[in-house]
Structure 1
């Protein structure tokens, strides 16, 4: 996002929950299932409503998705394109709208798709779209997003610090702290396991999930 000399840098405005989900899915699928991108409306809705890699779960219909796309197009965050045949397809313009590179886009996408997370969770999950070598590299990406005012820390510094994007509207932002506290309580009550093994298992499950999504989307394309 370029600015004229003397202008204040433009900041992305808050998005509705549905628009965040749609934008997140567009970026995710562009990276994880490029053969099926840009997305048809049916594939986009399937990605928004999938049971894995999403928090909260959603049940969007055609009208919900189209309204979210209208919101994103009005902000310059998504585009409508003509696909093969007569199918209308949709693609994101997240890099330009957010003013980020691939690593920053991957982190913002995971935060939009799954809400507040620790640096370890962000690194593991975002690596599906962009290889983040280690925690130091993840911290560098987070710092860049903090500097751009796209990300916020929502828990005190230290081990297990949680970060969230800053695309929440005011009515959601005021409840964000309560959501993070509830998340921490659930995490504390869960049985302790080796974090490395958990991260590895999550990465494998998410890779399998992406392949299943790709097959399901391909079937939908063939049916339509």
Structure 2
């Protein structure tokens, strides 16, 4: 009897954004999680901590959710007045928590170095050092075909860059040439202190949005995103 190997997981860019956003909000705003469709759309369309920045409609997000639910990567909770959604990424893909965190950040922010990932995952999971980040990335890159194959790729060093970046493969093969062209400009996007401040402000805004949406849902008031 021949065992069938699992097919590689392939998401669309919108599905990856939806899944990554659910993974982020589960850790950064747990009081308002699971998310309603509207709050999930707002999270997907954030202007900071997203690469690329998208402008998705509720229909775009709803369609992606349907596909993710079919793949057992997202679950819908219909118990309340408003349907709310939560991810099932770690169990659905079969990776440890640390690997799931790294993949979530790569889905939201695009290719990053191990150092950038350690900094950006501070509010998700605190890695002891950069070497531990690299260790989990290497495990994801060396993932066997029996488990579905590699989930990340270490990109060639970009011109002028000190470190190589990592990209996820959840949306299929990556265009290394495209990432190489943009790699040399990323280091000037912001200092660690600036990034941390943006993260803090973003979390505060997300919490306020969630509170408003929850209050409106309880009062039965419809909210239309600007």
Q: How does 1:77-88 map onto structure 2 within 5 Å?
A: 77-84=73-80, 86-88=81-83
Q: How does 1:83-98 map onto structure 2 within 5 Å?
A: 83-84=79-80, 86-98=81-93
Q: Which moved more, 1:126-135 or 1:28-37?
A: 126-135
The offset of 1:167, in angstroms, is 1.1
Runs of 4+ aligned residues of structure 1 deviating over 6 Å after TM superposition are none
What's the TM-score once normalised by structure 1's chain length?
0.85
2:176 — aligned with what?
177
More helix by share: 1
Is contact 2:102–2:121 with CA below 8 Å preserved after alignment? yes
Say if 2:95 is the partner of 1:121: no
Please give the secondary structure, in 2, of the residue aligned with 1:117: coil
What is the RMSD of the two structures over their aligned residues, measured on CA atoms? 2.3
Please give the secondary structure, in 1, of the residue aligned with 2:44: helix
Gaps of 5+ in 2: 144-149, 218-226
The offset of 1:42, in angstroms, is 0.7
Distance 2:82 2:10 in 1: 30
Q: How does 1:83-162 map onto structure 2 within 5 Å?
A: 83-84=79-80, 86-148=81-143, 149-156=150-157, 159-162=162-165
What's the TM-score once normalised by structure 2's chain length?
0.84
The offset of 1:9, in angstroms, is 5.3
Say if 2:31 is the partner of 1:22: no
Per-residue CA deviations over 1:73-107 (Å, capped at 9, x if unaligned) read 111111111243x1111111100122122211111
Is contact 1:79–1:93 with CA below 8 Å preserved after alignment? yes
2:214 — aligned with what?
221
How many residue pairs align between the two structures?
Answer: 209
